[in-house]
Structure 1
Amino acid sequence: MSTPAISNTAVFGSTGLVGSQILSTLLGWPSVKVTTISRRAPKAPESATNLNAIVEPDTTAWASKLTSLSPAPHTVFSGLGTTRAQAGGLANQWKIDHDLNVELAKASKASGVRTFVFISSAGTRSFISSRLPYSKMKIGVEDAVRDLDFENAVIVRPGLIMGEREQPRAGQGVMTGLVRGLGYLGQGLQDSVGQDHDVIARAAVRAAQLVAEGKAPSKYWVLEQADIVRLGRTEWVDNKPQTTTTASS
């Protein structure tokens, strides 16, 4: 397995669908130090000696936990997110999906983190969608990350995220079944609507690796659905990224 250019990382949302796959992918490289800060311990093999799992039930303490890390992570991944139902209302969802993500981005910048990777969502900036609360949360975080002026930032915008969640979301199974059904009409059609959680995670990690190698197409790099499929599946062989491909915008 090739050694990535990234060596010191932190992952938020490591117990969630995409975040757990980002964690699993990073742990596959023993040379990569991975710190997680979460309300409960993430699932990880006992053999993962490169994991520093910080359990902190109080999310208001996460930013200070991050800034206390020494040395600071080179790259921070955030797959942090919840639903209105799980959070107990829109106001509480906003505190997690928007406020906490922005706070962690600010703490990352203050700590000297070079690259911030945020798992956002596709289609939030259209004329109609941009007025919805969910879209406003994602747009707000994206804009905050951009304005913080990291050395590099990666925004990952998947469509429907497909995969089995520990806590199923209402209608998720039906939507996933419909999207997978599009695959019978053509893989490209399915890819244009939804992506598997592991593909999204690998795309995020691959993008961070390209950034560390100086191959990112721009300082503020947005991965749309086609980019996710390319980096997370097409250019991913034997559970490791190809090191000979240069990213394109």
Structure 2
Amino acid sequence: MSSPTAAIIGSTGLVGAHILSTCLSESSPWSKITTISRRNPKSTGPKLNAVVESDTTKWSSTLSSLTPTPSVVFSALGTTRAQAGGIANQWKIDHDLNVDLVQASKAAGVKHFVFISSAGTRGMLSNRVPYSKMKIGVEDAIIEAGFETAVIVRPGMIFGAREPGKEHTGMPFLQGVIKGAGKIFGQGVTDAVGQEADVIARAAVAAARIAEEGEAPSTVWILEQPDIVKLGRTEWTE
């Protein structure tokens, strides 16, 4: 039986880049990793099949045509309102494109889908917050698709160094304050607010590996912040 393969959308972003580098390790269960992006990812390796396509409307058809069909698709796809040029354009990426990719994955026969969502998307005011509404829409599409395993990862604030021009305003300062508080009062303080990008990525990969082994605790597996810390740091092994 041939080894399973994986596909990653959003491999040039902060969390997606760490998902890719983790999946490319020799210990990962996937024999080939296909990325679909507008530019080449930074990571390289013999397992990597990097598909560069500037037209995002073609990504779903590209994903559907991959041979062999990926066993798992990771989506860490997302942007900000400022980078997209407004909420309407952000919706096209964060919601519409992700939903298209979910549907294309299901139609192609993908077994497992892993989505990097966000904490608090189901809060009391979520229906009034555009960002939360985008995430909820994608989560619902994944659940309704009926994958063998749907893994929804909900990190808090994402810590890590973003590329120049892609930093959130005031984020480096805020991260410094939160991490400083963690050093004084304990790591749990930091973990309650957010997680490092590499920890989030490892949690996503660990969950996908568990799903591949048929050991996922449920068909819809929600990873909240404590689960991310557990899988991505406390219990993580190469």
Q: Deviations over 1:13-59 (max 9, x none)?
A: 000000000000000127531000000000123xx111000000000
Counterpart mapping for 1:122-133 below 5 A:
122-133=119-130
Alignment-mate amino acid for residue 210 of structure 2: L
Q: Comparing 138-147 with 25-34, which one deviates more in the overlay?
A: 25-34
Change (3 A) 1:235 1:6: farther
**What corresponds to 2:215 in structure 1?**
215
**What corresponds to 2:196 in structure 1?**
196
1:18 and 2:15 correspond: yes
Q: Comparing 207-216 with 113-122, which one deviates more in the overlay?
A: 207-216
**What corresponds to 1:151 in structure 2?**
148
Change (3 A) 1:192 1:130: farther
1:92 and 2:89 correspond: yes
Q: State the TM-score, normalizing by the size of structure 2.
A: 0.94
- Give percent identity, aligned residues only: 62
Alignment-mate amino acid for residue 59 of structure 1: T
Q: Distance in 1 between matches of 2:175 and 2:95?
A: 25
Alignment-mate amino acid for residue 42 of structure 2: K
SS in 1 for 2:185: coil
| Number of aligned positions between the proteins | 232
Q: Distance in 2 between matches of 1:178 and 1:114?
A: 41
Change (3 A) 1:151 1:6: farther
- Cα distance, 1:128 vs structure 2: 1.9
- Cα distance, 1:6 vs structure 2: 7.1
- Cα distance, 1:174 vs structure 2: 2.2
Tell me which protein shows more helix as a share of its residues: 2
Consecutive unaligned residues of structure 1, counting only runs of 5 or more, are 241-249
Q: Distance in 1 between matches of 2:98 and 2:109?
A: 17
- Cα distance, 1:85 vs structure 2: 0.2
Q: Distance in 2 between matches of 1:20 and 1:188?
A: 25
Q: Distance in 1 between matches of 2:153 and 2:3?
A: 18
**What corresponds to 1:244 in structure 2?**
none
- RMSD (Å) for aligned C-alpha atoms: 1.4
SS in 2 for 1:169: coil
Counterpart mapping for 1:1-249 below 5 A:
7-29=4-26, 32-45=31-44, 48-166=45-163, 167-183=166-182, 184-237=184-237, 240=238
Runs of 4+ in 1 over 4 A off after TM superposition: none
Q: Distance in 2 between matches of 1:161 and 1:175?
A: 11
